[in-house]
Structure 1
């Protein structure tokens, strides 16, 4: 599917700048900053404002096209939303399991931003007491 069709399908008005921003996000394996996107757009000769980049990123986030990572100190990075890595949360009493989105993505982005370290794998075990078992005395 073409990018314009995809954005249209998501209810987003298709513009050259939105297509370019989507392409830049798609071309990067890791998350990138709004400033990086702005610089890339300027380097390819687009007449674009940084505020346009931010507005587009907000729209993409609202439409669940991208993920936004808080890197601290008012800095954020963005990446195309991919199939979510999930973890199971298991009740210690009744052993009921539910799937939850991986909370490690934010940690991975912080580690990469602060140390340059890229995680290649992680293991996370989540256990607790479900609401039904918690209410049973």
Structure 2
């Protein structure tokens, strides 16, 4: 598959997912979304708990509530958007892409996610 077709198929899939999250509220329709098995088993929120509700709130421009649901989503959306964009322009943005997915950056993000999961349950 060519890079252009892959790009547009990815964009269509993303738009479908965004549309789904825009229409359906995870807080009101929990059966339409993925549950957190860590929370169901342990009663503790993982780093991803609330991310579906936060994404819904971001789409409706309610950033305060999104931050309350899961603050990592507000930082993750631009980060993963940059990774997506640079994956189709690797030659032009090689240094930025290397920074975004480099070993040090991934290690720092991993530590942030673990610490976020710990501190949100204190």
Bigger RCO of structures 1 and 2 (CA < 8 A, at least 6 apart):
2
Give the TM-score normalised by structure 1.
0.26
Give the TM-score normalised by structure 2.
0.28
Query: Would you tell me which structure has more helix in proportion to its own residues?
Result: 2
